[in-house]
Amino acid sequence: MKKPTFLSSRDAEYLVKDAEKSVNARRRHFLKQGLTLGGIMLLTGCDLSDNASVETALSRMSRFNDRVQGFLFSDRHLAPEYTESDITRPFPFNAFYDRDQIPQVDGRDYQLAIRGLVRDTRSWSLPELYRMQQVNQITRHICVEGWSAIGRWGGIPFRHFLQAIGADTRAKYISFRCADDYYTSIDMATALHPQTLLALTWDNQILPPEYGYPMKLRIPTKLGYKNPKHIQVIEITNRFPGGYWEDQGYNWFGGS
C-alpha cells in the first residue's frame, strides 16, 4: 500500500489561509457546494490517532464555522412563525438532567443579576420584568439531537432590555449563568435580533419550571442548546465566555 503524502505544516497553513480568503470572497458558492474546512484540514498531515492533533483541527474548523455563520447572520432574516394549531402538545422537556432535577426557583426572592459593560447594574425582580413590554411568538425549537417542537413564547424583546440597562452594544458577547449550573453565551448581533426574547411565559401562562422558570432566553434563529433556562446572571463582555456544551466541542455560534 502506497504511503500517503502530506503537505508540510507551512504549506498547509498557507492552504488553509487561502481557502478562508476564497470562502469569504465567494460565500454563496461556498454554501451551495457544501465546502467545509474539514476536507482541507485532512491535508495538513493531521494524525487521526493523535487526539491532541485531532482536537486542534476540530477546534479550528469550529472557529472557522463560527466566523462564516456570523458573517452571514442578519437581523433581516427571521425564523418562520406558526399558528396556534401548529403548537406541539405536549411540548417536550429536554435538559442535561432528568425531570426530578429541575431547579425549583422561588420567584418571590428571584433577582436577575446584571454584570459587565452596562450603565445600570442593579438587579431585576420578577414583578419588574413582568411590567416591561411583552411580545409573543410561535416558533420552532430545534434540538441538535435531531428533533424539533413548536411552542408559543412570550417575553421581553432582548434588545429592549439591553437598551433599558444601558448595555454597550459594541461589546462582542453576552453570557448567561443559570440556576441549574448551565451557562452559554451569544454574540451581540443575535442579542439584538428582533425575535430574541427574554421569555417569561409559555403558551400564555407563567413559564413552567420544565421550560425554564422564571426566565429563559428564546432564540428561534439558533439551536436549542443556545437557549438557556432558569437564567440568573446576564453579563455583557468582550471576553469570550464559552458555554457548557460549547466547551465540550459544540459549535459556538449554533445557528443561522
In the DSSP assignment, the letter for residue 231 is E
Residue extents of the structural domains in the chain:
9-72, 84-248
In this prediction, residue 61 has a pLDDT band, given cuts at 50, 70 and 90, of: low
For position 204, what pLDDT does the model report? 96
The CATH label, of 3.40.50.1220, 3.40.50.2300, 3.90.420.10, 3.40.109.10, for the domain at 84-248 is: 3.90.420.10
For position 69, what pLDDT does the model report? 54
In this prediction, residue 36 has a pLDDT band, given cuts at 50, 70 and 90, of: very low
Task: List the one residue out of 72, 100, 35 whose CA is nearest residue 189.
Answer: 72
For position 77, what pLDDT does the model report? 85
* Dihedral angle computed from the Cα positions of residues 77, 79, 84 and 85, in that order, rounded to the nearest 10 degrees: 120
pLDDT digits (tens, 9 = 90+) for 173-232: 999 999 999 999 999 999 999 999 999 999 999 999 999 999 999 999 999 999 999 999
* Lowest-pLDDT choice from 31-35, 198-202, 237-241: 31-35
Entry pTM: 0.74
88 pLDDT more than 80: yes
Helix axes 51-72, 9-25, angle to 10 degrees: 20
Q: Percentage of the chain surpassing pLDDT 70?
A: 70
In this prediction, residue 74 has a pLDDT band, given cuts at 50, 70 and 90, of: low
248 pLDDT more than 60: yes
Question: Which own/partner contact pairs does 3-7 have at CB distance under 8 Å and 24+ positions apart?
Answer: 6/43, 6/44, 6/45, 7/43, 7/44, 7/45
Mean pLDDT score across all residues of the chain? 82
Mean per-residue pLDDT for 115-131?
A: 98
